[in-house]
Amino acid sequence: MGTLYGKIKDDLLKQIKDGIYQEGDLIPTETQLARQYSASRPTVRQALQLLVDAGYLERRRRRGTVVCQPDVAQHFHHELRSYVDEMQDVGKVVTTKVIVFQRCLAPQEVIETFGLLEDEEVYKLVRLRYTDGVPSFFLETYIPCYLYPGLDTYDFNTESLYRAMGLCGKSVASARSKMSAVLANDTVAALLDKHEGDPLFRYLQVSRDTDGVKVEFTRSYYSGELTLDEEPVK
């Protein structure tokens, strides 16, 4: 006999797949669902978290829980490892150069990702990674300031981003990435020592904390000359 939270999850998923709840729709609140299923709020919350983890729902600040469509190209990490760790495992030396680190207003894509108000600030962290002295990754990261007070006191030329986030707020627990092939623009090409129009891989990554809240948006580029088993999480 299955658990109650599992049955609630299955029923909500069926309603999503049947189109009763469509992409962008708000689902009922935890209180309303608890009443509907004669369950406690923690039980409902557990069911919703399973759907969040599977990519069918996402929690948006000041809005509630929204239906979304999972992308077949998305991948969840049960254990996040840094790019530095991956490269050190195969004997390579990785260094990082911070190009920009500042508080600023978020671009529209980031506002929509985090469900921010237009006047809410984010940390913008732009970095260039070198592998054995060769520029290999260009990363542009956004993190809501209110979630990680004090993050701007760290030097990310040497400090791990995820370690610092864990010290300032909740730790990063999972990441979902989507890869696509793009052509290098003049800025990225110059930083990666490529020609404008050269083919690159681009990753769009959204990471969540231990509560399933979105905490990081990163856009990264690399040339594909490196072999990685995982997406370039930090």
Kindly report the CATH number assigned to the domain that includes residue 127. Answer: 3.40.1410.10
DSSP reduced 3-state for 210: coil
The yes-or-no verdict on residue 152 having pLDDT over 70 is: yes
Please state, in angstroms and rounded to a whole number, the distance separating the CA atoms of residues 147 and 81.
22
Same domain, 103 and 63: no
Same domain, 60 and 87: no
Q: Please give the average per-residue pLDDT across 94-111, as a whole number.
A: 93
2-5-11-12 Cα dihedral, nearest 10 degrees: -160
Is 127 within the bounds of a domain? yes
CATH of the domain at 28: 1.10.10.10
- Angle (CA) 7-11-12 rounded to 5° is 120
Residue type, 21: Y
The yes-or-no verdict on residue 12 having pLDDT over 90 is: yes
Same domain, 143 and 29: no
Phi-psi region of 38 (alpha: psi -120 to 50; beta: other; left: phi over 0): left
The yes-or-no verdict on residue 229 having pLDDT over 90 is: no
Phi-psi region of 106 (alpha: psi -120 to 50; beta: other; left: phi over 0): beta
Whole-number pLDDT of residue 78: 35
Same domain, 148 and 216: yes
Give which of 52, 40, 37 is closest to 7, Cα–Cα: 37
Is 74 within the bounds of a domain? no
Same domain, 63 and 90: no
Range of the domain at 54: 4-67
Strands of the sheet with 134-144, listed across from one edge: 94-105, 121-131, 134-144, 214-222, 199-209, 172-183
Here the tokens at position 47 are 């069911």
Same domain, 46 and 89: no
Whole-model pTM?
Answer: 0.64
Same domain, 171 and 206: yes
Same domain, 131 and 46: no
Q: Which residues contact 159 (CB under 8 A, 6 or more apart)?
A: none
Q: Which residues contact 55 (CB under 8 A, 6 or more apart)?
A: 68, 69, 70, 71, 74, 76, 176
Total domain count, the chain = 2
Whole-number pLDDT of residue 33: 94
The yes-or-no verdict on residue 232 having pLDDT over 70 is: no
What tens digit of pLDDT does each residue of 110-147 get?
Answer: 998 898 888 999 999 999 999 888 998 999 999 999 99
